[in-house]
Amino acid sequence: MSALPVRDEPAVPELLPKGAPLLEVEHLTMRFGGLVAIDDVSFVAGAQSITAIIGPNGAGKTTVFNCLTGFYKPTVGRLTLHHASGDVLLERMEGYRIAKQAGVARTFQNIRLFPRMTVLENLIVAQHNHLMRASGFTFLGLFGYRGYRQAERDAIEFARAWLDKVGLAERADWEAGALPYGAQRRLEIARAMCIHPTLLCLDEPAAGLNPRESAELNSLLIEIRDREKIGVLLIEHDMGVVMEISDRIVVLDYGRKIAEGTPDQVRNDPTVIRAYLGEEEKDELPGEIARDLGAGPGERG
């Protein structure tokens, strides 16, 4: 766990203090024709902390992510990213600029690596914009400009440091598509970190992981929060992961925010239990409570 090499990245000029609002989502609404996928959701994700978005299937979690990362243009609402140097309005940005200029990185529910490129190349591609500048937008690089070669070496070092962190350094020259599933998940997180993000959005990072891999993921995310000092926003179904590492939890159901708070608050929130956790605990509940819950408005079959 060596310290990362210091790099001249303009994306992170200085850090916001822990817990200060990093991402502010205000009145976010997303309609697809008549279908309201997200209905007036507002929440705040703090700097240097982990915020989880949970909710049953179809609650609109991934839609929130897609709005944040520019894949959808929200119908209504404002998405503000607070940098120490000033605020950025995400909803007005073109998709790729959100990663390039605002520094919002994301992973995908169904992993999206570059399967036929090597593990190392995946991480180098993530440093594309930095390397493009260093290569003089290809012109200097074509002639083997020394500054570019140095930048490339630095990029490889940086990638290597991340490969060490996620335990993939040995397999750096493998094709990414040949990695086992859990390793692909870790690689995707490492790749997202290689763009030097201020906010890391993870879409179900623990899906398909075994308990040991899940535990490793927890420590990786905590390390990212504490060492890299960036904000993490994650969607997750695995309650073990969510309850253990989240500083704050936002609960969505049918596109609406039904609760928000610390893990303890959310765990004991009756609305949440009814809408979401209730399903899991139903077997252990006494008969009359189960019947009461069954009559509730939020119950699902």
Partner 1 sequence: MAVADEALAGPRPLNWRAILIEAALTAFVVFLLTIALVGADIVDFSDTVTVRPRLNDVIAAVIIAFLGRIVLVLLREGRNRIVLATMVPLALATFLILLGGSLGIGADLRHLLPFRDPVVCWIIDGAMIVFALRALWTMRRAVKVTLSDEAREARADRTAARVQRVARMIGPLIFVAALALPLTPLANRQILDIGTLVMTYIMLGWGLNVVVGLAGLLDLGYVAFYAVGAYSFALLAQFFGLGFWTCLPFAGLMSGTAGVLLGFPVLRLRGDYLAIVTLGFGEMVRLILNNWQSLTGGPNGISGVPRPTFFGLPLLPFVPEGHESFFTFFHIPFTPEARIVFLYYVILGLAMITNLFTMRIRRLPIGRAWEALREDEIACRSLGINPRNTKLTAFGIGAMFAGFAGSFFATRQGFISPESFTFIESAVILAIVVLGGFGSQLGVVFAAIILIGLPEFFRELQLYRMLAFGAAMVTIMIWRPAGLLAHREPTLKLFGAKSRGGAK
Q: Which helix (H) or strand (E) holds 27?
A: strand 21-32
Instruction: Identify which of 194, 266, 280 has the alpha carbon closest to the alpha carbon of residue 43.
Output: 266
**Which residue, 20 or 131, has its beta carbon nearer to partner 1?**
131
- Write down the least CB distance from residue 43 to partner 1, Å: 21
**Which residue, 135 or 214, has its beta carbon nearer to partner 1?**
135
- Write down the least CB distance from residue 286 to partner 1, Å: 47
**Which residue, 181 or 210, has its beta carbon nearer to partner 1?**
181
- Write down the least CB distance from residue 112 to partner 1, Å: 4
- Write down the least CB distance from residue 92 to partner 1, Å: 16
**Which residue, 189 or 273, has its beta carbon nearer to partner 1?**
189
Are the C-beta atoms of residues 88 and 282 closer than 8 Å to each other?
no
Within 10 angstroms of residue 254's Cβ, the number of other Cβ atoms is 17
- Write down the least CB distance from residue 203 to partner 1, Å: 10
Query: Residue 28 forms beta bridges with which residues?
Result: 41
Instruction: Identify which of 102, 60, 61, 107 has the alpha carbon closest to the alpha carbon of residue 79.
Output: 102
- Write down the least CB distance from residue 271 to partner 1, Å: 33
Q: Find tokens 């959005």 and name the residue.
A: 201
**Which residue, 51 or 127, has its beta carbon nearer to partner 1?**
127
Instruction: Identify which of 223, 222, 224, 225 has the alpha carbon closest to the alpha carbon of residue 244.
Output: 222
**Which residue, 153 or 300, has its beta carbon nearer to partner 1?**
153
- Write down the least CB distance from residue 108 to partner 1, Å: 7
The gap from C-alpha 172 to its chain's centroid, in whole angstroms, comes to: 23
21-32 and 86-89 as β-strands: parallel, antiparallel, unpaired?
Answer: unpaired
Interface with partner 1 (CB under 8 A): 69-71, 95-101, 105-106, 108, 112-118, 120-121, 124-126, 128-129, 131-132, 135, 138, 141-142, 152, 156, 160, 163, 169, 172-173, 191-192, 195
**Which residue, 193 or 250, has its beta carbon nearer to partner 1?**
193
Q: Which residues, in sequence order, are CB contacts of 149 under 8 Å at separation 6+?
A: none
- Please tell me what DSSP assigns to residue 256: E
CA atoms of 275 and 154, how far apart (whole Å): 49
